[in-house]
Structure 1
Amino acid sequence: MNANPFAVVTGASTGIGFELAKCCAHDGYDLLICADEPEIEQAAEALRDETVAVETLMADLGTREGTAALCEAIADRPVDALLANAGRGLGDAFLDEDLDKAVDVIDLNVVSTIALIHDVGRQMRARGSGKILITGSVAGFMPGSFQAVYNGTKAFLDSFSWALRNELKERGVTVTCLMPGPTETEFFNRAGMQDTKIGSSDDKDDPAKVARQGYEAMEEGVSGVTVGFMNKVQTTFAGIIPDSVLAEMHRRMAEPQ
């Protein structure tokens, strides 16, 4: 029997998700990694070695069928760490967005995340052990002008993670929220935000650094981690500065030029 712990990482083909999977593999976790694109196979090849098993699942977790497929792939195997990282963004003014695409963001970022955690979290609670990492965002602390749906989903995840952590505090299961700021990934290209100040900025965080801090926080069982000094400043002042001012600040970063 393989004695390695078992981790599930979503959104693991590139960016923060891939780097989280790399952290797990480095520490001896067998992996089930999932994404909605064929690059997940390339990610698996980069992660495999003679001591770590890596399984892949290409599925759109923004659909009930995709989430069900991942739960079926996990089956009855004990999950030691669930890293719920899959998510997408969407730029532009809300009324100018395609409504179906906006709903897709909610389905992936929120509906799929809580469905997966509901399934895996129950087995962790029954076993009395497990670690859950949820990728939220500092965006959840700001009204997201020109990114309204995405910021709203991250506000939900940030809040949800602390609530779930409290519910599980005496059950042997820890919940950690990773709250990155702008990070050098495919996020802004996929969200159609290349023509924004934030999307074109060269001052984004390194996904490997973001993932490492999130992974270490999960392993230590702490409640949450915000990566980067300015991101920490932003979250600190978010509760002090009026929402109307925060919304205007976000507009300057995210409005198409």
Structure 2
Amino acid sequence: MSLQRRFAIVTGASTGIGLELARCCAKDGFDLLIAADEDRIHQAAAELRATGADVEAAQVDLSTMDGVDRLYAATEARPVDALLANAGRGLGHAFLDQDFAKARSVIDTNITGTAYLIHKIGNDMRRRKSGRILITGSIAGFVPGSFQAVYSASKAFLNSFSFAIREELKDSGVSVTCLMPGATNTEFFRRADMLDTSVGTIGKDDPCYVARIGFDAMMSGEGDVVSGWKNKLQSRVAHVVPAGVLASQHRKWAEPGTAKD
């Protein structure tokens, strides 16, 4: 990899928002290390190389400490200018009906793996007094997500976590930005087994649009950004409506069998 160009890591970059974030980085002159736990990460790397960027792919399981360590080792000690921590899992259905191994994978990927990676890369950035971190949270983190309980709670963690470490890193030269999208047109709902739900079948935001908003906010050093005016309205409503009411409303969106015709 060229030492003259900036270097970014993008996780969850095989499809969806992560792949679009990687495209934003490539177009802006970053070399890339992209990661996901599926073979398609190598196809994504080939597509991104066509932009002229130097791209390496790491097929690793970021729900594990070993997977994070392997991704970190793949940097080969090259300074990371931007970390876009986008890897995440979703899971639908009522909590007690879920396979707990899958529920734990959501927690391990969205929370533990993300926090561990940020701890490792963030320490390097702080020592250099330079770097940008983008965390993909969600407006789901503002709502008690009935029939998405573990996922929504994991995003509440990430939303809160990003604001907290942003304050801790104030004046350090390291910025932290939280991208909080709403329902986006990706494979999320299929993978989360939510295609029979209302939220799984309604119109969704374009992942290219969402990624561009997040990338621009990161490069500007903003603290957070909610993509789309409807999502901004929902996030504001969530701050004033009682949690019990929000949970009841969410059931209408996420309970199996509520899919719109």
1:234 aligned to 2:221?
no
Residues in 1 aligned to 2:5 and 2:51: alpha-carbon distance in whole angstroms = 12
Q: Distance in 2 between matches of 1:119 and 1:89?
A: 24
1:71 Cα deviation after fit: 1.1
SS in 2 for 1:90: coil
| TM-fit CA distance, 1:63 | 1.4
4+ aligned runs moved over 4 Å, structure 1: none
- Find the counterpart in structure 2 of residue 148 from structure 1: 149
> Could you say which residue in structure 2 is the equivalent of 1:103?
104
Does 2:253 match 1:256? no
Consecutive unaligned residues in structure 1, runs of 5 or more: none
The one-character-per-residue Cα deviations of 1:102-148 (angstroms, maximum 9, x if unpaired) are 00100000000000000000000000000000000000000000000
Q: What stretches of structure 2 of length at least 5 have no aligned partner?
A: none
Q: Give SS of 1:177's match.
A: strand
Counting only pairs closer than 5 Å after superposition, residues 30-41 of structure 1 correspond to structure 2 as 30-41=31-42
Q: Distance between the aligned counterparts of 2:75 and 2:120, measured in 1? A: 10
1:54 alignment counterpart: 55
Q: Which moved more, 1:71-80 or 1:154-163?
A: 71-80
Alpha-carbon deviation of 1:34? 0.2
Name the counterpart of 2:10: 9
Q: In the alignment, which residue of structure 1 is the partner of 2:171? A: 170
How many angstroms does 1:72 deviate by? 1.0
3-state SS of the aligned residue for 1:66?
Answer: helix
Q: CA deviation at 1:239?
A: 1.1
Which one-letter code corresponds to 2:199 in the other structure? I
Name the SS of the counterpart of 1:104 in structure 2.
Answer: helix
* Counterpart residue identity of residue 89, structure 1: G
The 5 Å alignment of 1:82-121 reads: 82-121=83-122
Q: RMSD value over aligned CA atoms? A: 0.9
Residues 98-247 of structure 1 aligned to structure 2 (within 5 Å): 98-201=99-202, 203-247=203-247
Greater alpha carbon shift after TM alignment, 42-51 vs 95-104: 42-51
For 2:209, give the aligned amino acid: K
**TM-score, structure 2 as length reference:** 0.97
67-76 or 130-139, larger mean C-alpha shift: 67-76
Shift of 1:50: 7.0
When structure 1 is superposed on structure 2, of 233-242 and 42-51 the one drifting more is 42-51
CA offsets per residue over residues 186-230 of structure 1, 9 Å max, x none?
0000000000000011x1000000000000000000001000111
SS at match of 2:170: coil
Distance across 2 between alignment mates of 1:242 and 1:91 = 23
Match of 1:129, as an amino acid?
Answer: S
Where 2:9 maps in the other structure, the secondary structure is strand
CA distance in 2, matches of 1:190, 1:51: 31
TM-score by structure 1 length? Answer: 0.98
**What secondary structure sits across from 1:248 in the alignment?**
helix
- The one-letter amino acid paired with 1:6 is F
Amino acid at match of 2:242: P
Aligned 8 A contact 2:10 2:85 in 1 = yes
Instruction: Supply the AA of the counterpart residue of 1:57.
Output: A
CA-CA distance at 1:2 after TM superposition: 2.7
- Name the CA distance, whole Å, in 2 between partners of 1:189 and 1:59: 21
Give the C-alpha shift of residue 76 in structure 1: 1.6
2: distance between equivalents of 1:122 and 1:79?
11
Instruction: Using the aligned pairs only, state the percent identity.
Output: 59
Kindly state the Cα deviation for residue 243 of structure 1 after the two structures are TM-superposed. Answer: 0.3
How far, CA to CA, are the matches of 1:245 and 1:133 in structure 2?
A: 31
What is the distance in 2 between the residues matched to 1:50 and 1:114? 30
Separation of aligned partners in 2, 1:14 and 1:28 = 20
Structure 1 letter corresponding to 2:238? A
**CA offsets 1:150-203 (integer angstroms, 9 cap, x no match):** 0000000000000000000110000000000000000000000000000011x1
